[in-house]
A and B are shown apart, each in its own frame.
Chain A
Amino acid sequence: MNVIKYFFKNAKANKIIFVMYIFIFVIILFLSTAGNIQRQGTIFEPTKSTVGLIKNSDDEVADAVEEYLRDYLGADTKLDLLPDDLGSAKELIYMGNYDAIVRIPENCKELFEQDKPTVQVIFSPLGFEGHIIDNRMKVFLMMYRATEQNGQYDMELTKKILKKEAKVEFLKTEQTPEHELQRLWVKTFFNTSGYILMAIYISLIGMSMSGFNEPKTKKRIAISSKDDTKMQMEIYMAQLLMGALITSILVGVCFAFKGSQLFEHQIGKYILNLGVYSIVVMALTFLLNNFTNNRHTKNVLSTVLSLGLAFISGVFLPQTFLSAKVLAVAKFFPLYYFVIINETVHPEVSFMIRNLGIQMLFGILFFVMGLYFARKKRIAE
C-alpha cells in the first residue's frame, strides 16, 4: 500500500501536467465544435454572410450600395465601415472576420454609368459565403442600372424586385441537425481524449515513476522488507489505478456535459473503445518507463509522440483530409484504429472486433517490449 501511496504522492506533485492538458483539451473541444454550427430546426434558414464596407464616395450609387448592404444585414447587424487599406482588408478576410469586403471607389457613379466595374469585392474563393456577396452585388447593380430613367435610378423598384425569392422546401430526414451536432460533439470529445490520454499517461505516470529511480528512494527500497516482485506488482497496480482514474474523469466530464443524451449516440461503443485504448496507452507508458528513466526524455516523448500521432491519425483534422502517405504511416500506431472506430457511425460487430483487436495487439507488443527493457535494466542494476 505504501508504494501506491508514494506513487500517488508523486503524481500529486506533478498535478500541473494534468491541469495543463485538461485546459488544452477543453480549448480543442471548444474550437473543434465551434466551426460545426448548423442552423437548427426543420425550416430552411439561409446563411448570412458577414460584410464590411470601404466607402470612398458619397454619390447616389455609393449610397445605394450602402443601403442595399444594410438591408441585407438587417436591423440586428451593424454594417462596419472600414478604412481604405487593401492590406488590412485582405487580412480581415484571411482571418475570417468578414466573408466579404465591398470597396466603393471615389469615381463610383462615373464607372457605373460607363458600365464598368463599379465596386470591388474582396473575398476568399474557397468558401460560398464570399461568392454569395459577390453574386448579390452583381445582381443588385445590374438591376439598379436597369431602373435608370432620365438619369435617375429607382431604388424602391430595385428593392421591390429583389424581394422576390425562390421557394424552399425542407426535406425531413431521420437525422435532425441537432442530433448530428451532438454526434459530432461526442465524436470530437472522444477523438481528442485519445490525444490527451496519451500525453497525460506518458507524462504524469512517467514523472511519478521517476520518483522511484531517485537515489534516495532506491536506497530506501533496497533496505525495505518488501520483496521485489510484490513491490513491482504494487507499482503496476498504482499505474493501472492512475490510468483508470484519468480515463474515468474524462468519461465523467463527457456525462457531465451531455448526460442522458449520450445514450442516443452509441456511448457504449465510445467507452469500450476508450477503455481498450487506455490499456494500450498504459502498455506504451510501461514500455517508455522501462526504456528511459530520464524525466526530460519522458517530457519530450510525451509532447512529441502525442502531438505527432494526433496530427497524423485524424484527431485534429478528419482522416479524409489527410494524404494517403500520412495515413499509411498512421496505420503503424494504435491511435489510428481508435479514431477509425469513433468516426464510424454504425459500426458492424466484425469491424469493431477487428479494430479493437489491432489495438490490443499493439498493447501486447508494447507490453512485451516493456518486459524486455525491464529485464535488461534489472540485469544491468
Chain B
Amino acid sequence: MSRNLAAFGYFLKNAIKDKGFAFWTIMYPLVLITIFYFGFSGVMNREFEKAAIGVSPEHPFASTFGEIDIIEYSLMDEAEAKNALEKDKIVAYVKKDGSMLVSRSDSAQTAVKEVLDAMNQFSEMMKSGVPFEKIKFDAVYTETIEQSEEGWRITFYSGIAMISIYSVFTGIQISRQDGFSSRISVSPFKKSTRIICYFFLGLLVNMVVNIVLVFYVQNVLRINLFPQLWKSFAIIAGGNVFGISLGILLGIPKQIKEDAKMSMAIGLSLMLSFFAGMMGREIPRMVWKISPWIPKLNPIANITNLLMRVNLIGSTQHFLQDLMLLLIQAIIMLTVGFVIIWRRKYECD
C-alpha cells in the first residue's frame, strides 16, 4: 500500500513538473472561463427589449398600444416617424388608418404587424355577423411556458465539457513509450501499478481542477451555471473518465511525437467542443438537423447537453441513459488501450 502511495506521489510530482500538462490542465481552464466571463458580461442579464413604435395621434385606438406587452409606443406624426425609421429609433409606424410603415422586414416588425392584423380581424369578425358578446376577451386560451434562450450559457457549458475531458493529457502519459517509460519498466514499480496510479492520478487531478473551476464560476464569477451541483459533478466525472480513456488511445502510436500527441488532444477537444456549441448554437443546431444521434455520439456535445438539461432546463430525463453512453464509449477505448499496453514489450523488459 505504502509503495503504491509512493508511486502515486512520484507520478503526481512528475506530472506537475511537465509544463504543458500543468498549463493545459490547471491554468488554461481558469483562463478560458475568465475570458468567456469578460466577453459575455454585457449580455448575461439581457432582458426582452420591447418593439419601439410610433403611432399616429389620430389612430382611433392609439392608447390600446400601451396595453400590449411587447410594444412601447409614442405618438408622432408621419414626417417625424420617417426620420425615426431611417435612424432605427422605431421599428414601425402605425398610421391613422391602421396601416403600418416600416423600413425593414424583421421579427420586430412582424410582431407589430400581428397586433395590427388582430385588430383588423376583430372588426372583420363583427362584419361577418359574429355577435360581439361571443368574443370572450377575458378568457386566456394559452398557457405560456417560457424557456430562456441565453445563448452565452452553451458556450460556458461546452467550455466546461471540453475541460472535463482534459484528463486526456494524463491518458497520453499512461501509454507513452519514451525514456521515462523504459526507466519505469526496469524500476521496482510494476506495469500495472504505473497504469493504475496514472489512471487515478488523472482522475484526481482533473476532477480537483474541475471542482475548483465550478466553485470559481459559482462563487467568484457569480454565474449560476450549476444549480444541480452533484449531478453536474457526476457528469463532469464521466467526462474525466472519457478523457483519460481517449488519452490512452491517442498515446499508443509510437511513430507520433509527444508534442504532436498533445496538439492532437487539444485540436480534437477544440473541434468536438466547437460542434457542441462553443461558438454558439448555430453549429449544434445544424448537426441536430442532420441527425439527433450525432450530438449523442460526440462526447463533448453529450456532456454539454447533459449539463444544460440538468441545470438550465431542470430535466433529468435520459440522464442515466446519456451518461451511460459516455461511459460505454470510455470503456471501449479503455479496453482496447489496456490490451495494447499490456502486450507491449520494452527493449529493456
A interface, CB within 8 angstroms of B: 20, 27-28, 31, 34-35, 38-39, 43-47, 49, 85-88, 90-91, 93-97, 103, 112, 115-129, 131-132, 134-139, 141-143, 145-148, 157, 160-162, 164-171, 173, 177, 296, 300, 304, 307-308, 311-312, 316-317, 320-323, 325-326, 329
Contact = CB atoms under 8 A, between A and B. Distances in A.
A52 to B, nearest CB: 13
B48 A86 contact: no
Interface string B120-151: 11001100101000111101111111111111
Contacts of A112: 141
Interface stretch (B31-39, B176-184, B234-242): B31-39
Contacts of B312: 94
Given A124-B148, A164-B117, A170 B103 contact: yes
A37 B313 CA distance: 28
21 contacts: A31-B283, A44-B109, A44-B113, A45-B105, A46-B113, A47-B107, A87-B313, A91-B308, A96-B281, A96-B282, A116-B141, A136-B114, A138-B141, A146-B130, A146-B136, A165-B117, A173-B103, A307-B35, A311-B35, A317-B40, A321-B43
Contacts of B47: 126
A135 B118 contact: yes
Interface of B: 19-20, 23, 28, 31-32, 35-36, 38-43, 46-48, 51, 69-70, 82, 85-86, 97-111, 113-121, 124-125, 128, 130, 134-137, 139-151, 154, 267, 274, 279-285, 288-289, 305, 308-309, 312-318
Given A47-B105, A91-B315, 16 more contacts: A90-B147, A128-B51, A128-B70, A139-B121, A145-B141, A165-B117, A165-B120, A166-B113, A166-B116, A166-B119, A167-B98, A171-B85, A308-B31, A320-B42, A323-B42, A325-B41
B107 A134 contact: no
Contact of A168 (B43, B100, B139, B150): B100
B149 A91 contact: no
A7 B97 CA distance: 73
B124 A164 contact: yes
Given A28-B279, A38-B104, A127-B149, A46 B313 contact: no
A141 B139 CA distance: 10
Contacts of B147: 90, 93-94, 122-124
